[in-house]
A and B are shown apart, each in its own frame.
Chain A
Amino acid sequence: MNTTEQSRAGVEVRMEGLRRSYGPVVALDGVDLTVKPGELVALLGPSGCGKTTTLRLLAGLEDADAGSITVGGKDITHLPASRRDMGMVFQAYSLFPHMTVRQNVAFGLRLRRIARQRRDQRAMEMLQLVDLTAQADRYPHQLSGGQQQRVALARALAIEPQVLLLDEPLSALDAKVRAQLRDQIRRIQLEVGITTLFVTHDQEEALAIADRVGVMRDGRIEQLASPTEVYSRPSTPFVAEFVGLTNRLAGTVADGTVTVRGRALPLVDPATRPGPAIALVRPEAVTLAREAGSGPLTGTVIASTFLGATSRVTVDLGDTTILAQIPTADAVAHPAGSRVTLTIRPDPVLVAQDPPA
Chain B
Amino acid sequence: MAALSPIAAERAAAAVTSVPRGARGGMRGRRRARLNLFRYVTFALFGAFFLMPLWAMVRFSLEGSRLGTWSVAAWSQIASYPGLLGAIEITLELAVLTSGVMLLLLLPTMIWVRLRVRRFTRALEFLCLLPLTIPAIVLVVGLSPIYNRIERFNVSALMLFWAYVILALPYAYRALAAGLNSIDVTTLAEAARSLGAGWGTVMARVIAPNMWQAILNALLLTVALVLGEFTIAYNLTYTNLQVALYAISRNTENAGVLFSASAASLLFAFALLMIISIVGRRRRGRA
Pick from A86, A95, A97, A141: contact of B194, CB under 8 Å: A86
- The answer to whether A94 and B195 have CB atoms under 8 Å apart is no
B207 (CB) vs chain A CBs: closest residue: A96
Nearest chain B CB to A171 CB, angstrom units: 14
Number of A residues near B (Cβ < 8 Å) is: 31
- The answer to whether B197 and A92 have CB atoms under 8 Å apart is no
Pick from B190, B196, B198, B209: contact of A108, CB under 8 Å: B196
- The answer to whether A90 and B198 have CB atoms under 8 Å apart is no
Pick from B192, B195, B287: contact of A97, CB under 8 Å: B287
**Of B212, B286, B287, most A-chain CB atoms within 10 Å:** B287
1/0 contact string of B118-134 vs chain A (CB within 8 Å): 00000000000000000
Binding stretch for chain A, among B70-78, B159-167, B180-188, B263-271? B180-188
Complex Cα–Cα for A82 and B188 (A): 13
- The answer to whether A90 and B191 have CB atoms under 8 Å apart is yes
Pick from B196, B283, B287: contact of A83, CB under 8 Å: B196
1/0 contact string of B250-287 vs chain A (CB within 8 Å): 00000000000000000000000000000000010011
- The answer to whether B210 and A96 have CB atoms under 8 Å apart is yes
B196 CB contacts on chain A under 8 angstroms: 82-83, 85, 108, 111-112, 159
Which B216-262 residues have C-beta < 8 A from chain A? none
Tell me, yes or no, whether A194 is within 8 Å of chain B by CB.
no
Complex Cα–Cα for A111 and B197 (A): 7
Complex Cα–Cα for A111 and B200 (A): 12
Complex Cα–Cα for A90 and B189 (A): 12
Given contacts A108-B195, A159-B195, contact A90 B187 (CB under 8 A): yes
A84 CB contacts on chain B under 8 angstroms: 194
A93 CB contacts on chain B under 8 angstroms: 184, 187
- The answer to whether A97 and B183 have CB atoms under 8 Å apart is yes
Complex Cα–Cα for A95 and B183 (A): 11
Tell me, yes or no, whether B201 is within 8 Å of chain A by CB.
yes
A97 CB contacts on chain B under 8 angstroms: 183, 210, 287
- The answer to whether B210 and A98 have CB atoms under 8 Å apart is yes
A85 CB contacts on chain B under 8 angstroms: 196
Complex Cα–Cα for A45 and B184 (A): 26
Complex Cα–Cα for A290 and B235 (A): 100
A165 (CB) vs chain B CBs: closest residue: B194
B183 CB contacts on chain A under 8 angstroms: 97
Pick from A59, A82, A139, A165: contact of B197, CB under 8 Å: A82
Given contacts A97-B183, A97-B287, A139-B287, contact A88 B194 (CB under 8 A): yes
Tell me, yes or no, whether A143 is within 8 Å of chain B by CB.
no
Complex Cα–Cα for A139 and B287 (A): 6
Nearest chain A CB to B210 CB, angstrom units: 5
Tell me, yes or no, whether A27 is within 8 Å of chain B by CB.
no
Nearest chain A CB to B239 CB, angstrom units: 42
Nearest chain A CB to B93 CB, angstrom units: 31
Given contacts A97-B210, A98-B209, contact A87 B194 (CB under 8 A): yes
Tell me, yes or no, whether A198 is within 8 Å of chain B by CB.
no
A61 CB contacts on chain B under 8 angstroms: 190, 193-194
Tell me, yes or no, whether A119 is within 8 Å of chain B by CB.
no
Tell me, yes or no, whether A217 is within 8 Å of chain B by CB.
no
Pick from B187, B192, B194, B195: contact of A92, CB under 8 Å: B187
Tell me, yes or no, whether B206 is within 8 Å of chain A by CB.
yes
Complex Cα–Cα for A58 and B60 (A): 71
5 pairs across A/B with beta carbons < 8 Å?
A88-B190, A93-B187, A94-B187, A107-B195, A111-B197
Residues in A lying within 8 Å of B, measured CB to CB: 59-61, 80-88, 90, 92-98, 107-108, 111-112, 139, 141, 152, 155-156, 159, 165
Given pairs A82-B197, A83-B196, A96-B188, 17 additional interface contacts (CB within 8 A): A82-B196, A85-B196, A88-B190, A88-B191, A88-B194, A92-B184, A92-B187, A93-B184, A94-B188, A95-B191, A96-B192, A97-B210, A98-B287, A108-B195, A111-B196, A156-B194, A159-B196
